Amino acid sequence: MKSGSRDSAQAMQRVRVGMTGLAMVLVLIGLASAIFSSANRDAPVTAIGAPNASVVANMTIEDANGTVAEKDEPLAELGVAPSASSTDTPSGQGNPQN
């Protein structure tokens, strides 16, 4: 008879430990959520001399007439890819019309 009550007591102890562990995990998640939500409410910090993001996002290229130039090839403007409108012919190739 003692072995039956000992098994029951051991099972209850395991349930208590499991429930305590689950409660601790929930408390830790709630604490982390409170910390991160308070950090998100703070105003963003900008470095001294850093460009203003709203100004940089609205930059455009204007020509001499004051009109906005079209950006057909943004990668070519950055120097990442060659421009497709290049007038130079590759060496070794002549004019295709000759």
Residue 84 domain flag = no
Domain membership of residue 10 as a residue range: 2-41+52-78
Rounded to an integer, what is the distance from CA 98 to the centroid of its chain?
54
Whether the per-residue pLDDT at 20 is higher than 70: the answer is yes
Lowest pLDDT segment from 1-15, 17-31, 61-75: 61-75
Backbone angles phi, psi at 74, to 5 degrees: -65, -30
Residue 6 burial by Cβ neighbours in a 10 Å radius (0-12, 13-18, 19+): exposed
Cβ-Cβ contacts under 8 Å for 69 (sequence gap 6 or more): 60, 61, 62, 63
Is 35 within the bounds of a domain?
Answer: yes
Binned at pLDDT 50, 70 and 90, residue 22 comes out as very high
pLDDT of residue 72: 74
Q: Please indicate, yes or no, if residue 9 is contained in any of the structural domains.
A: yes
